[in-house]
Structure 1
Amino acid sequence: MIQVVLLGSGNVATHLYQAFQKTSEVEVIQVFTRNQSLDFPSTIQVHSYNQLIPADVYIISVTDLAIAEVSKSIPFENQLVVHTSGTSALDVLDTKNRRGVFYPLQTFSKVKKVDFSEIPLCLETEFEEDYAIIEKMALSISKVVQSVSSDQRKALHVAAVFSCNFVNHLYQIGSEICEENNIPFSILFPLIKETAAKIETLTPIEAQTGPAIRRDEKTISKHLDFLQDKNQKEIYQLLTQSIQNVKKL
Protein backbone atom coordinates (compact mmCIF):
# COMPACT_ATOMS: atom_id res chain seq x y z
CA MET A 1 0.00 0.00 0.00
CA ILE A 2 1.23 3.48 -0.90
CA GLN A 3 1.18 5.85 2.07
CA VAL A 4 0.33 9.45 1.22
CA VAL A 5 0.43 12.79 3.00
CA LEU A 6 -1.85 15.48 1.58
CA LEU A 7 -0.75 19.08 2.01
CA GLY A 8 -3.77 21.30 1.51
CA SER A 9 -7.47 21.26 2.30
CA GLY A 10 -9.10 22.89 -0.72
CA ASN A 11 -11.34 21.48 -3.44
CA VAL A 12 -8.75 19.27 -5.12
CA ALA A 13 -7.31 17.92 -1.87
CA THR A 14 -10.79 17.11 -0.58
CA HIS A 15 -11.79 15.19 -3.71
CA LEU A 16 -8.46 13.37 -3.83
CA TYR A 17 -8.90 12.29 -0.23
CA GLN A 18 -12.40 11.00 -0.96
CA ALA A 19 -11.15 9.10 -4.01
CA PHE A 20 -8.26 7.49 -2.11
CA GLN A 21 -10.70 6.36 0.58
CA LYS A 22 -12.29 4.06 -2.00
CA THR A 23 -9.11 2.19 -2.96
CA SER A 24 -7.02 -0.35 -1.07
CA GLU A 25 -3.89 0.70 -2.96
CA VAL A 26 -3.46 4.07 -1.22
CA GLU A 27 -3.69 5.17 2.40
CA VAL A 28 -3.80 8.85 3.37
CA ILE A 29 -1.96 8.92 6.67
CA GLN A 30 -1.88 12.69 7.22
CA VAL A 31 -3.50 15.87 5.94
CA PHE A 32 -1.72 19.17 6.50
CA THR A 33 -4.18 22.03 7.00
CA ARG A 34 -3.71 25.58 8.24
CA ASN A 35 -6.88 25.28 10.28
CA GLN A 36 -9.12 22.43 11.43
CA SER A 37 -11.20 21.14 8.51
CA LEU A 38 -14.44 19.18 8.65
CA ASP A 39 -13.57 17.47 5.36
CA PHE A 40 -10.98 15.17 6.95
CA PRO A 41 -10.89 13.05 10.13
CA SER A 42 -9.41 15.07 12.99
CA THR A 43 -7.14 12.14 13.85
CA ILE A 44 -5.01 12.61 10.72
CA GLN A 45 -4.98 16.40 10.56
CA VAL A 46 -1.77 18.27 11.40
CA HIS A 47 -1.18 22.01 11.42
CA SER A 48 2.60 22.28 11.64
CA TYR A 49 5.24 21.04 9.21
CA ASN A 50 7.16 19.62 12.15
CA GLN A 51 4.29 17.18 12.71
CA LEU A 52 4.67 15.58 9.28
CA ILE A 53 5.68 11.93 9.31
CA PRO A 54 7.49 9.79 6.71
CA ALA A 55 5.38 8.70 3.72
CA ASP A 56 5.82 7.30 0.22
CA VAL A 57 4.36 10.37 -1.50
CA TYR A 58 3.65 13.94 -0.41
CA ILE A 59 0.92 15.58 -2.50
CA ILE A 60 0.90 19.38 -2.45
CA SER A 61 -2.56 20.62 -3.32
CA VAL A 62 -2.52 24.37 -2.68
CA THR A 63 -2.72 27.54 -4.77
CA ASP A 64 0.00 27.91 -7.39
CA LEU A 65 1.62 30.80 -5.54
CA ALA A 66 2.03 28.67 -2.39
CA ILE A 67 3.50 25.52 -3.96
CA ALA A 68 7.15 26.59 -3.72
CA GLU A 69 6.84 27.69 -0.08
CA VAL A 70 5.06 24.51 0.98
CA SER A 71 7.60 22.41 -0.88
CA LYS A 72 10.50 24.08 0.93
CA SER A 73 8.76 23.62 4.28
CA ILE A 74 8.57 19.82 4.08
CA PRO A 75 11.16 18.70 6.69
CA PHE A 76 12.52 15.75 4.69
CA GLU A 77 14.97 15.12 1.87
CA ASN A 78 14.97 12.67 -1.05
CA GLN A 79 11.23 12.04 -0.68
CA LEU A 80 8.76 11.93 -3.57
CA VAL A 81 6.86 15.25 -3.60
CA VAL A 82 4.26 16.06 -6.26
CA HIS A 83 1.91 18.97 -6.86
CA THR A 84 -1.56 18.99 -8.46
CA SER A 85 -1.30 22.21 -10.47
CA GLY A 86 -2.16 22.49 -14.14
CA THR A 87 0.01 25.55 -14.77
CA SER A 88 3.05 25.17 -12.51
CA ALA A 89 6.07 23.36 -13.90
CA LEU A 90 7.68 20.45 -12.15
CA ASP A 91 10.70 22.58 -11.24
CA VAL A 92 8.67 24.85 -8.95
CA LEU A 93 9.17 22.13 -6.33
CA ASP A 94 12.21 22.26 -4.05
CA THR A 95 15.20 20.28 -5.34
CA LYS A 96 15.91 18.67 -1.96
CA ASN A 97 13.21 16.11 -2.82
CA ARG A 98 12.32 14.00 -5.86
CA ARG A 99 9.76 15.92 -7.86
CA GLY A 100 6.60 15.09 -9.76
CA VAL A 101 3.14 16.20 -10.84
CA PHE A 102 -0.22 14.54 -10.16
CA TYR A 103 -2.68 16.77 -12.04
CA PRO A 104 -6.41 15.88 -12.19
CA LEU A 105 -7.92 17.54 -15.25
CA GLN A 106 -11.32 18.49 -13.88
CA THR A 107 -13.25 21.33 -12.30
CA PHE A 108 -13.88 20.74 -8.60
CA SER A 109 -16.35 22.13 -6.09
CA LYS A 110 -16.51 20.68 -2.58
CA VAL A 111 -20.30 20.45 -2.63
CA LYS A 112 -20.44 18.59 -5.98
CA LYS A 113 -19.51 14.91 -6.06
CA VAL A 114 -17.49 13.65 -9.03
CA ASP A 115 -16.79 10.23 -10.49
CA PHE A 116 -13.03 10.19 -10.11
CA SER A 117 -12.73 7.09 -12.30
CA GLU A 118 -13.58 9.27 -15.33
CA ILE A 119 -11.15 12.10 -14.51
CA PRO A 120 -7.93 12.21 -16.56
CA LEU A 121 -4.84 12.20 -14.35
CA CYS A 122 -1.80 13.81 -15.97
CA LEU A 123 1.50 12.61 -14.53
CA GLU A 124 5.12 13.72 -14.67
CA THR A 125 8.23 12.82 -12.65
CA GLU A 126 11.95 13.39 -12.76
CA PHE A 127 12.75 9.70 -12.40
CA GLU A 128 11.21 6.66 -14.07
CA GLU A 129 10.97 4.69 -10.83
CA ASP A 130 8.94 7.51 -9.26
CA TYR A 131 6.59 7.56 -12.24
CA ALA A 132 5.73 3.93 -11.54
CA ILE A 133 4.68 4.88 -7.99
CA ILE A 134 2.34 7.72 -8.91
CA GLU A 135 1.03 5.77 -11.90
CA LYS A 136 -0.03 2.99 -9.51
CA MET A 137 -1.74 5.61 -7.34
CA ALA A 138 -3.47 7.14 -10.34
CA LEU A 139 -4.71 3.84 -11.75
CA SER A 140 -6.21 2.96 -8.39
CA ILE A 141 -8.69 5.86 -8.69
CA SER A 142 -8.95 6.65 -12.42
CA LYS A 143 -9.32 4.82 -15.73
CA VAL A 144 -7.67 7.69 -17.63
CA VAL A 145 -3.97 8.11 -16.80
CA GLN A 146 -1.46 9.78 -19.08
CA SER A 147 2.14 11.02 -19.05
CA VAL A 148 2.11 14.77 -19.75
CA SER A 149 5.12 17.10 -19.78
CA SER A 150 5.12 20.49 -18.06
CA ASP A 151 4.76 22.29 -21.42
CA GLN A 152 1.90 20.00 -22.48
CA ARG A 153 0.18 20.48 -19.13
CA LYS A 154 0.43 24.25 -19.50
CA ALA A 155 -1.25 23.99 -22.91
CA LEU A 156 -3.89 21.67 -21.47
CA HIS A 157 -4.69 24.12 -18.71
CA VAL A 158 -5.16 26.99 -21.16
CA ALA A 159 -7.39 24.76 -23.30
CA ALA A 160 -9.34 23.81 -20.17
CA VAL A 161 -9.92 27.47 -19.28
CA PHE A 162 -11.47 28.04 -22.71
CA SER A 163 -13.46 24.79 -22.61
CA CYS A 164 -14.66 25.04 -19.01
CA ASN A 165 -14.22 28.37 -17.21
CA PHE A 166 -15.06 30.62 -20.15
CA VAL A 167 -17.96 28.40 -21.18
CA ASN A 168 -19.32 28.52 -17.62
CA HIS A 169 -19.13 32.33 -17.74
CA LEU A 170 -21.23 32.23 -20.90
CA TYR A 171 -23.74 30.08 -18.99
CA GLN A 172 -23.85 32.88 -16.43
CA ILE A 173 -24.61 35.45 -19.14
CA GLY A 174 -27.31 33.18 -20.57
CA SER A 175 -28.75 32.76 -17.07
CA GLU A 176 -28.85 36.55 -16.58
CA ILE A 177 -30.63 37.09 -19.90
CA CYS A 178 -33.21 34.45 -19.00
CA GLU A 179 -33.75 35.87 -15.52
CA GLU A 180 -34.17 39.41 -16.82
CA ASN A 181 -36.90 38.17 -19.15
CA ASN A 182 -38.69 35.89 -16.67
CA ILE A 183 -37.58 32.66 -18.35
CA PRO A 184 -36.24 29.71 -16.31
CA PHE A 185 -32.58 29.08 -17.19
CA SER A 186 -33.34 25.34 -16.87
CA ILE A 187 -35.14 25.47 -20.24
CA LEU A 188 -31.66 25.63 -21.80
CA PHE A 189 -30.37 22.50 -20.02
CA PRO A 190 -31.28 20.03 -22.84
CA LEU A 191 -29.57 22.31 -25.37
CA ILE A 192 -26.45 22.60 -23.19
CA LYS A 193 -26.30 18.83 -22.67
CA GLU A 194 -26.73 18.06 -26.38
CA THR A 195 -24.04 20.59 -27.33
CA ALA A 196 -21.58 18.96 -24.92
CA ALA A 197 -22.54 15.44 -26.02
CA LYS A 198 -22.06 16.18 -29.73
CA ILE A 199 -18.33 16.80 -29.44
CA GLU A 200 -17.82 13.20 -28.35
CA THR A 201 -18.65 12.13 -31.93
CA LEU A 202 -18.03 15.33 -33.92
CA THR A 203 -15.16 17.81 -33.93
CA PRO A 204 -16.06 21.19 -32.44
CA ILE A 205 -15.89 22.71 -35.93
CA GLU A 206 -18.32 20.09 -37.27
CA ALA A 207 -20.65 20.64 -34.31
CA GLN A 208 -20.77 24.43 -34.68
CA THR A 209 -24.22 25.82 -35.44
CA GLY A 210 -25.91 29.21 -35.09
CA PRO A 211 -26.18 32.53 -36.90
CA ALA A 212 -22.43 33.24 -36.84
CA ILE A 213 -21.38 30.15 -38.80
CA ARG A 214 -24.36 30.65 -41.16
CA ARG A 215 -23.35 34.28 -41.58
CA ASP A 216 -26.94 35.22 -40.86
CA GLU A 217 -26.34 38.95 -40.52
CA LYS A 218 -30.03 39.73 -40.11
CA THR A 219 -30.33 37.56 -36.98
CA ILE A 220 -26.97 38.76 -35.63
CA SER A 221 -28.12 42.37 -36.01
CA LYS A 222 -31.38 41.62 -34.17
CA HIS A 223 -29.45 39.98 -31.30
CA LEU A 224 -27.11 42.95 -31.01
CA ASP A 225 -30.06 45.36 -30.99
CA PHE A 226 -31.65 43.29 -28.23
CA LEU A 227 -28.56 43.29 -26.00
CA GLN A 228 -28.40 46.44 -23.89
CA ASP A 229 -25.50 45.40 -21.68
CA LYS A 230 -22.25 46.71 -23.21
CA ASN A 231 -20.18 43.75 -21.95
CA GLN A 232 -22.64 41.19 -23.34
CA LYS A 233 -22.75 43.00 -26.68
CA GLU A 234 -18.94 43.06 -26.95
CA ILE A 235 -18.66 39.36 -26.09
CA TYR A 236 -21.34 38.48 -28.65
CA GLN A 237 -19.51 40.45 -31.36
CA LEU A 238 -16.10 39.01 -30.45
CA LEU A 239 -17.32 35.39 -30.44
CA THR A 240 -19.29 35.89 -33.65
CA GLN A 241 -16.17 37.22 -35.39
CA SER A 242 -14.03 34.42 -33.95
CA ILE A 243 -16.43 31.75 -35.24
CA GLN A 244 -16.51 33.34 -38.67
CA ASN A 245 -12.71 33.54 -38.77
CA VAL A 246 -12.26 29.80 -38.17
CA LYS A 247 -13.90 28.10 -41.11
CA LYS A 248 -16.89 28.19 -43.39
CA LEU A 249 -18.81 24.91 -43.24
Structure 2
Amino acid sequence: MISVSIIGSGNVAHHLITAFKAASEIKLVQVLTRQKSSLTHLLDSEIIITDFDSLQTVDLLIIAVSDDAIANVSNQIPFQNQLVVHTSGSVNIEALNDKNRKGVFYPLQTFSKSKAVDFKSVPICLEAQSESDHQTLETVAKSISEVIYQVNSEQRKALHVAAVFVSNFVNHMYQMGNEICTENQLSFDILKPLIQETANKILTLSPKEAQTGPAKRNDTQTINSHLSFLTDENQKEIYKLLTKSIIDHGKKL
Protein backbone atom coordinates (compact mmCIF):
# COMPACT_ATOMS: atom_id res chain seq x y z
CA MET A 1 0.00 0.00 0.00
CA ILE A 2 1.28 3.45 -0.93
CA SER A 3 0.90 6.27 1.58
CA VAL A 4 -0.28 9.57 0.14
CA SER A 5 -0.98 13.01 1.60
CA ILE A 6 -2.53 16.02 -0.12
CA ILE A 7 -2.05 19.75 0.37
CA GLY A 8 -5.11 21.69 -0.76
CA SER A 9 -8.90 21.66 -0.58
CA GLY A 10 -9.98 22.97 -3.99
CA ASN A 11 -11.69 21.19 -6.86
CA VAL A 12 -8.79 18.91 -7.79
CA ALA A 13 -8.06 18.05 -4.17
CA HIS A 14 -11.71 17.15 -3.53
CA HIS A 15 -11.82 14.72 -6.45
CA LEU A 16 -8.44 13.17 -5.61
CA ILE A 17 -9.57 12.63 -2.03
CA THR A 18 -12.71 10.88 -3.23
CA ALA A 19 -10.75 8.72 -5.68
CA PHE A 20 -8.02 7.76 -3.21
CA LYS A 21 -10.55 6.87 -0.52
CA ALA A 22 -12.03 4.31 -2.93
CA ALA A 23 -8.62 2.88 -3.97
CA SER A 24 -7.57 -0.19 -2.00
CA GLU A 25 -3.90 0.32 -2.94
CA ILE A 26 -3.74 3.81 -1.41
CA LYS A 27 -3.60 4.92 2.20
CA LEU A 28 -4.64 8.57 2.48
CA VAL A 29 -2.64 9.73 5.50
CA GLN A 30 -3.28 13.48 5.79
CA VAL A 31 -4.84 16.42 3.99
CA LEU A 32 -3.49 19.88 4.75
CA THR A 33 -5.91 22.79 4.37
CA ARG A 34 -6.29 26.27 5.80
CA GLN A 35 -9.74 25.51 7.22
CA LYS A 36 -10.75 22.09 8.55
CA SER A 37 -14.41 22.81 7.87
CA SER A 38 -13.77 22.75 4.12
CA LEU A 39 -13.12 19.00 4.23
CA THR A 40 -15.02 17.58 7.21
CA HIS A 41 -17.82 16.39 4.88
CA LEU A 42 -15.24 14.21 3.08
CA LEU A 43 -12.81 13.07 5.77
CA ASP A 44 -12.47 12.14 9.41
CA SER A 45 -11.28 15.24 11.22
CA GLU A 46 -8.19 13.54 12.69
CA ILE A 47 -6.48 13.31 9.28
CA ILE A 48 -7.26 16.93 8.38
CA ILE A 49 -4.42 19.24 9.43
CA THR A 50 -3.93 22.99 9.15
CA ASP A 51 -0.18 23.53 9.60
CA PHE A 52 2.90 22.29 7.79
CA ASP A 53 4.66 21.19 10.99
CA SER A 54 2.02 18.49 11.44
CA LEU A 55 2.86 16.83 8.12
CA GLN A 56 4.15 13.26 8.23
CA THR A 57 6.54 11.73 5.72
CA VAL A 58 4.74 9.61 3.14
CA ASP A 59 5.49 7.83 -0.13
CA LEU A 60 3.89 10.68 -2.08
CA LEU A 61 2.95 14.25 -1.15
CA ILE A 62 0.59 15.92 -3.64
CA ILE A 63 0.30 19.72 -3.86
CA ALA A 64 -3.18 20.47 -5.26
CA VAL A 65 -3.39 24.26 -4.98
CA SER A 66 -3.69 27.18 -7.41
CA ASP A 67 -0.81 27.59 -9.86
CA ASP A 68 0.54 30.77 -8.30
CA ALA A 69 0.70 29.15 -4.84
CA ILE A 70 2.64 26.01 -5.81
CA ALA A 71 6.16 27.38 -5.31
CA ASN A 72 5.33 28.97 -1.95
CA VAL A 73 3.65 25.81 -0.67
CA SER A 74 6.59 23.71 -1.87
CA ASN A 75 9.01 25.93 0.05
CA GLN A 76 7.10 25.35 3.30
CA ILE A 77 7.28 21.55 3.26
CA PRO A 78 9.45 20.61 6.28
CA PHE A 79 11.21 17.62 4.69
CA GLN A 80 14.12 16.74 2.46
CA ASN A 81 14.20 13.99 -0.17
CA GLN A 82 10.41 13.60 0.02
CA LEU A 83 8.63 12.83 -3.29
CA VAL A 84 6.55 15.97 -3.90
CA VAL A 85 4.37 16.56 -6.95
CA HIS A 86 1.98 19.25 -8.12
CA THR A 87 -1.21 18.77 -10.15
CA SER A 88 -0.97 21.76 -12.51
CA GLY A 89 -1.14 21.61 -16.28
CA SER A 90 0.84 24.79 -16.85
CA VAL A 91 3.47 24.98 -14.07
CA ASN A 92 6.96 23.60 -14.78
CA ILE A 93 8.30 20.84 -12.56
CA GLU A 94 11.15 23.22 -11.63
CA ALA A 95 8.72 25.37 -9.62
CA LEU A 96 9.00 22.79 -6.84
CA ASN A 97 11.70 23.24 -4.20
CA ASP A 98 14.95 21.41 -4.94
CA LYS A 99 15.24 20.03 -1.40
CA ASN A 100 12.74 17.32 -2.32
CA ARG A 101 12.33 14.86 -5.19
CA LYS A 102 10.06 16.46 -7.75
CA GLY A 103 7.29 15.31 -10.01
CA VAL A 104 3.95 16.13 -11.62
CA PHE A 105 0.63 14.29 -11.24
CA TYR A 106 -1.69 16.11 -13.65
CA PRO A 107 -5.26 14.83 -14.10
CA LEU A 108 -6.47 16.34 -17.36
CA GLN A 109 -10.12 17.00 -16.67
CA THR A 110 -12.46 19.83 -15.73
CA PHE A 111 -13.39 19.53 -12.06
CA SER A 112 -16.25 21.04 -10.08
CA LYS A 113 -16.91 20.06 -6.47
CA SER A 114 -20.62 19.61 -7.14
CA LYS A 115 -20.15 17.28 -10.14
CA ALA A 116 -18.94 13.71 -9.65
CA VAL A 117 -16.22 12.45 -12.01
CA ASP A 118 -15.43 8.87 -13.00
CA PHE A 119 -11.68 8.97 -12.40
CA LYS A 120 -11.15 5.68 -14.25
CA SER A 121 -11.48 7.56 -17.56
CA VAL A 122 -9.49 10.66 -16.54
CA PRO A 123 -6.08 10.88 -18.28
CA ILE A 124 -3.30 11.35 -15.73
CA CYS A 125 -0.09 12.88 -17.07
CA LEU A 126 3.04 12.00 -15.11
CA GLU A 127 6.50 13.50 -14.87
CA ALA A 128 9.31 12.50 -12.52
CA GLN A 129 13.06 12.99 -12.24
CA SER A 130 13.92 9.33 -11.66
CA GLU A 131 12.61 5.99 -12.87
CA SER A 132 11.82 4.81 -9.33
CA ASP A 133 9.75 7.92 -8.63
CA HIS A 134 7.98 7.52 -11.96
CA GLN A 135 7.09 3.96 -10.97
CA THR A 136 5.59 5.24 -7.72
CA LEU A 137 3.53 7.84 -9.57
CA GLU A 138 2.42 5.28 -12.12
CA THR A 139 1.28 2.88 -9.40
CA VAL A 140 -0.71 5.63 -7.69
CA ALA A 141 -2.19 6.79 -10.99
CA LYS A 142 -3.21 3.27 -12.00
CA SER A 143 -5.00 2.83 -8.68
CA ILE A 144 -7.56 5.46 -9.72
CA SER A 145 -7.35 5.73 -13.54
CA GLU A 146 -7.01 3.49 -16.58
CA VAL A 147 -5.47 6.23 -18.75
CA ILE A 148 -1.85 7.12 -17.95
CA TYR A 149 0.64 9.17 -20.00
CA GLN A 150 4.27 10.12 -19.49
CA VAL A 151 4.44 13.83 -20.39
CA ASN A 152 7.26 16.32 -19.82
CA SER A 153 6.72 19.92 -18.70
CA GLU A 154 6.83 21.43 -22.20
CA GLN A 155 4.39 18.86 -23.57
CA ARG A 156 2.13 19.39 -20.57
CA LYS A 157 2.05 23.14 -21.25
CA ALA A 158 0.95 22.38 -24.83
CA LEU A 159 -1.74 20.03 -23.51
CA HIS A 160 -2.98 22.67 -21.11
CA VAL A 161 -3.25 25.29 -23.86
CA ALA A 162 -5.08 22.77 -26.06
CA ALA A 163 -7.39 21.95 -23.15
CA VAL A 164 -8.29 25.63 -22.75
CA PHE A 165 -9.36 25.69 -26.41
CA VAL A 166 -11.43 22.48 -26.31
CA SER A 167 -12.97 22.99 -22.85
CA ASN A 168 -12.89 26.52 -21.41
CA PHE A 169 -13.35 28.36 -24.70
CA VAL A 170 -16.00 25.90 -25.88
CA ASN A 171 -17.91 26.33 -22.62
CA HIS A 172 -17.79 30.10 -23.12
CA MET A 173 -19.38 29.55 -26.53
CA TYR A 174 -22.15 27.63 -24.72
CA GLN A 175 -22.62 30.67 -22.48
CA MET A 176 -22.91 32.97 -25.47
CA GLY A 177 -25.35 30.60 -27.17
CA ASN A 178 -27.39 30.52 -23.98
CA GLU A 179 -27.50 34.32 -23.89
CA ILE A 180 -28.72 34.46 -27.50
CA CYS A 181 -31.45 31.93 -26.69
CA THR A 182 -32.53 33.81 -23.57
CA GLU A 183 -32.66 37.14 -25.41
CA ASN A 184 -35.01 35.56 -27.96
CA GLN A 185 -37.27 33.66 -25.52
CA LEU A 186 -35.84 30.26 -26.44
CA SER A 187 -34.79 27.39 -24.19
CA PHE A 188 -31.11 26.48 -24.27
CA ASP A 189 -32.26 22.85 -23.87
CA ILE A 190 -33.15 22.82 -27.57
CA LEU A 191 -29.42 22.99 -28.37
CA LYS A 192 -28.31 20.22 -25.99
CA PRO A 193 -28.81 17.29 -28.43
CA LEU A 194 -26.68 19.21 -30.95
CA ILE A 195 -24.00 19.81 -28.33
CA GLN A 196 -24.02 16.13 -27.39
CA GLU A 197 -23.83 14.92 -31.00
CA THR A 198 -20.98 17.33 -31.78
CA ALA A 199 -19.02 16.00 -28.79
CA ASN A 200 -19.79 12.39 -29.71
CA LYS A 201 -18.54 12.84 -33.28
CA ILE A 202 -15.04 13.68 -32.02
CA LEU A 203 -14.85 10.18 -30.51
CA THR A 204 -14.82 8.64 -34.01
CA LEU A 205 -13.89 11.49 -36.38
CA SER A 206 -11.01 13.95 -36.48
CA PRO A 207 -11.92 17.61 -35.80
CA LYS A 208 -11.24 18.29 -39.49
CA GLU A 209 -13.73 15.62 -40.56
CA ALA A 210 -16.32 16.69 -38.00
CA GLN A 211 -16.36 20.39 -38.95
CA THR A 212 -19.64 21.59 -40.47
CA GLY A 213 -21.52 24.88 -40.73
CA PRO A 214 -21.66 27.99 -42.90
CA ALA A 215 -17.97 28.85 -42.50
CA LYS A 216 -16.94 25.35 -43.57
CA ARG A 217 -19.16 25.72 -46.65
CA ASN A 218 -18.05 29.33 -47.12
CA ASP A 219 -21.76 30.23 -47.21
CA THR A 220 -21.37 34.01 -47.27
CA GLN A 221 -25.11 34.66 -47.49
CA THR A 222 -25.79 32.85 -44.20
CA ILE A 223 -22.70 34.32 -42.54
CA ASN A 224 -23.76 37.87 -43.44
CA SER A 225 -27.29 37.15 -42.28
CA HIS A 226 -25.99 35.98 -38.88
CA LEU A 227 -23.78 39.06 -38.56
CA SER A 228 -26.73 41.32 -39.34
CA PHE A 229 -28.82 39.54 -36.73
CA LEU A 230 -26.25 39.89 -33.94
CA THR A 231 -26.42 43.17 -32.04
CA ASP A 232 -23.85 42.46 -29.33
CA GLU A 233 -20.48 43.69 -30.66
CA ASN A 234 -18.51 41.12 -28.67
CA GLN A 235 -20.57 38.26 -30.11
CA LYS A 236 -20.22 39.75 -33.58
CA GLU A 237 -16.42 40.04 -33.35
CA ILE A 238 -16.06 36.48 -32.04
CA TYR A 239 -18.32 35.21 -34.83
CA LYS A 240 -16.16 37.00 -37.42
CA LEU A 241 -12.90 35.72 -35.90
CA LEU A 242 -14.02 32.10 -35.66
CA THR A 243 -15.56 32.19 -39.13
CA LYS A 244 -12.31 33.52 -40.61
CA SER A 245 -10.30 30.88 -38.74
CA ILE A 246 -12.50 28.03 -40.06
CA ILE A 247 -12.30 29.40 -43.63
CA ASP A 248 -8.52 29.89 -43.40
CA HIS A 249 -8.05 26.36 -42.05
CA GLY A 250 -10.03 25.08 -45.02
CA LYS A 251 -7.67 26.88 -47.41
CA LYS A 252 -4.62 25.26 -45.80
CA LEU A 253 -5.91 21.73 -46.31
TM tier relative to shorter chain: over 0.9
Give 2:221's match in structure 1, choosing from 218, 222, 243: 218
Tell me how far apart the structure 2 counterparts of residues 40 and 122 of structure 1 sit (CA, whole Å).
Answer: 26
Identity of matched residues, %: 59
The size of the alignment, in residue pairs, is 249
Tell me how far apart the structure 2 counterparts of residues 123 and 54 of structure 1 sit (CA, whole Å).
Answer: 21
* Structure 1 runs of 4+ with >2 Å offset: 38-41
Match of 2:20 in 1: 20
Match of 1:31 in 2: 31
Match of 1:46 in 2: 49
Match of 1:114 in 2: 117
Match of 2:181 in 1: 178
Q: Secondary structure at the match of 1:81?
A: strand
What TM-score results when the alignment is normalised by the length of structure 1?
0.98
Cα shift at 1:43: 1.7
Tell me how far apart the structure 1 counterparts of residues 213 and 57 of structure 2 sit (CA, whole Å).
Answer: 57
Cα shift at 1:27: 1.2
Tell me how far apart the structure 1 counterparts of residues 139 and 72 of structure 2 sit (CA, whole Å).
Answer: 27
Residue correspondence of structure 1 range 1-249 to structure 2 within 5 A: 1-36=1-36, 37-38=38-39, 39-247=42-250
**Runs of 5+ unmatched residues, structure 2:** none
Cα shift at 1:200: 1.1
**What RMSD in Å do the two structures reach over aligned CA positions?**
0.9
Tell me how far apart the structure 1 counterparts of residues 208 and 69 of structure 2 sit (CA, whole Å).
Answer: 39
2:76 maps to a residue whose letter is S
1:208-234 CA-to-partner distances (Å, cap 9, x unmatched) read: 000001011110011001100000000
Tell me how far apart the structure 2 counterparts of residues 203 and 41 of structure 1 sit (CA, whole Å).
Answer: 46
Q: Secondary structure at the match of 1:183?
A: coil
Tell me how far apart the structure 1 counterparts of residues 120 and 46 of structure 2 sit (CA, whole Å).
Answer: 27
Q: Secondary structure at the match of 1:102?
A: strand
Cα shift at 1:40: 3.2
1:13-68 CA-to-partner distances (Å, cap 9, x unmatched) read: 00001001111111111000011213433221111101111111100000111101
Q: Secondary structure at the match of 2:144?
A: coil
2:13 maps to a residue whose letter is A
